Structure 1
Amino acid sequence: MESKQPLEYKLQVRICRGEKFFGPGVAQLMQLIDQHHSLHKATEEMHIAYSKAWRILKEAQKNIGFEIIHKTVGGSGGGGSVLTEEGREYLRRYLAFEQELRKEADRLFQKYFLDFEHPDEK
């Protein structure tokens, strides 16, 4: 029985303090906030409710111990959301950690499963 699908693995990096509070979804939300300067636009792009995004961010902030976004209320200049410097640094570290883990996971996957991908090359 031969499968034509190549072997692959899935890796999701989540930061926990008892329960998970920071992972790919929070990171994507923060990247979109940074890009659009708007929590509302970020939630529209991710197709999630504004209230859910706000709950996710508040839970992350509570567990991290500092504000990761700063909201300004509308007015003549309009409102918006931006990452705090601490939030930007936390996101940078998460993404760097994730990238380094993926490189190591790729190396290990090749080490342990390459021979299953091409058994005739032994």
Structure 2
Amino acid sequence: MEYENALLWEVTFWEFFFVTVLLAGGAAYLTGRAIARAWQSNLQLAGYIVLLAAATRFIHFALFNGTLLTLHYYLVDLAMLLVIAFLGKRITRARQMTTQYSFGYARSSLIGWRARS
């Protein structure tokens, strides 16, 4: 299974899961949460995640003998981290809207809210 190139991971699934999903995904979630708490824009969040994806590629390169400058796996890491980061932002924003503005909004789901009637 080692060095079996797949569409989503470069070396092995477990290295991809540990580095990209758990470590960098946790950092992306916390970054999205911090952006939501500061009421900053989605563009700023995307900029931070672009840098985090580059750092993730470096960890794959330095620790697990992955390639550093590969566009395909960088975009895979970037897409995964963007999804996690925007999910973290949306969950936090839903909590903010229903807590700070409870007179006007009620929670409708984990990532959504609705106007009170």
Task: Report which of the two structures shows the higher radius of gyration computed on alpha carbons.
Answer: 1
User: Which of the two has greater helix per residue?
Assistant: 2
Q: TM-score normalized by structure 1?
A: 0.32
User: Which of the two has greater strand per residue?
Assistant: 1
Q: TM-score normalized by structure 2?
A: 0.33
